[in-house]
């Protein structure tokens, strides 16, 4: 069903050849089923969970978990003023629950919109450059870094864009190829290897560049206060 996260089935033609029972050569008509996911696939879901889990565990130099105050919002009874200002409250716990629910998020982009909504809410409610405002900015940078590691080239919503419907539409994008840097040869006086022309051509093909001659973490320290 749409948005359920459960796979539908699409038939894929597979060339086979071979010999039919009557001794004649068979056509390549054998088909097999492959899963087609409407919404997040299991792999995408786990990747989003990894992004969130890694960011939730980040700590500053004093050992404080930066995402601590983003885990669960105060209740309406505890902080009624917040709910008068913020129309769509959301926190890490509710995002995690949605990820665990089949069909919770229909795409990686929708997951990122939820994360950005949480961070934008924090910066709208708190004074600019206050402790929580800065925490939200730091978490945004950390999430985009994790996103680029897991889904290279995937766009991330701009800050505060989640309040404008036209900016919430998923943009078209293409994955950015990541080429692992060739390990530099160990420094030895007697032996020194260079990449062959064939190796350069392969690396260039992956990165989209022409083959040619070979050429040659931040810490957070700031004051914080609770809501």
pLDDT value of position 226 = 44
| 46 pLDDT above the threshold of 80 | yes
Contact between 155 and 119 under an 8 Å Cβ cutoff? The reply is no
Separation of alpha carbons 80 and 120, rounded Å:
19
Q: What is the pLDDT averaged over residues 134-159?
A: 97
In DSSP terms, which residues pair with 12 in a beta bridge? 32
Phi-psi region of 52 (alpha: psi -120 to 50; beta: other; left: phi over 0): alpha
- Say what the pLDDT of residue 149 is: 95
Distance of alpha carbon 6 from alpha carbon 40, whole angstroms = 9
The answer on pLDDT for 159 being more than 80 is yes
Q: Give Cα 89 distance to the centre of its chain.
A: 22
Q: Which of 73, 74, 75, 54 has the alpha carbon at shortest distance from 65?
A: 54
Q: What is the mean pLDDT of the chain?
A: 76
Share of the chain above pLDDT 90, in %: 56
Q: What is the reported pLDDT for 83?
A: 97
| pTM, rounded to two decimals | 0.66
Range with lowest mean pLDDT among 58-62, 98-102, 171-175, 205-209: 205-209
The mean pLDDT value for 15-37 works out to 55
Note the pLDDT tens digit of each residue in 160-185: 999 999 999 999 988 887 643 333 34
Residue-level pLDDT at 193 = 42
Highest mean pLDDT among 37-46, 87-96, 204-213: 87-96
Cα 168 to Cα 157: distance, rounded to the nearest angstrom: 8
């Amino acid at each position: 069903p749409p948005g359920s996260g459960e796979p539908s089935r699409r038939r894929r033609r597979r060339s086979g050849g071979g010999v039919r029972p009557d001794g004649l050569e068979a056509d390549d008509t054998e088909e097999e089923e492959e899963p087609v996911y409407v919404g997040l696939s299991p792999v995408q879901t786990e990747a989003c969970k990894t992004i969130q889990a890694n960011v939730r565990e980040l700590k500053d130099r004093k050992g404080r978990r930066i995402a601590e105050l983003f885990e669960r919002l105060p209740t309406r009874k505890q902080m009624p003023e917040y709910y008068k200002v913020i129309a769509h409250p959301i926190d890490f716990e509710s995002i995690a629950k949605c990820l665990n629910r089949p069909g919770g998020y229909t795409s990686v982009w929708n997951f990122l919109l939820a994360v950005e909504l949480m961070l934008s809410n924090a910066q709208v409610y708190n004074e600019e450059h206050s402790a929580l405002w800065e925490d939200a900015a730091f978490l945004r940078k950390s999430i985009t870094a994790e996103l680029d590691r897991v889904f290279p080239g995937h766009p991330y919503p701009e800050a505060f864009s989640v309040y404008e419907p036209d900016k919430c539409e998923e943009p078209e994008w293409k994955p950015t190829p990541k080429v692992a840097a060739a390990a530099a040869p160990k420094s030895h006086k007697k032996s020194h290897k260079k990449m062959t022309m064939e190796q350069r051509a392969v690396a260039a093909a992956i990165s989209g560049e022409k083959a040619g001659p070979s050429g040659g973490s931040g810490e957070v320290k700031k004051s914080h206060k609770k809501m």
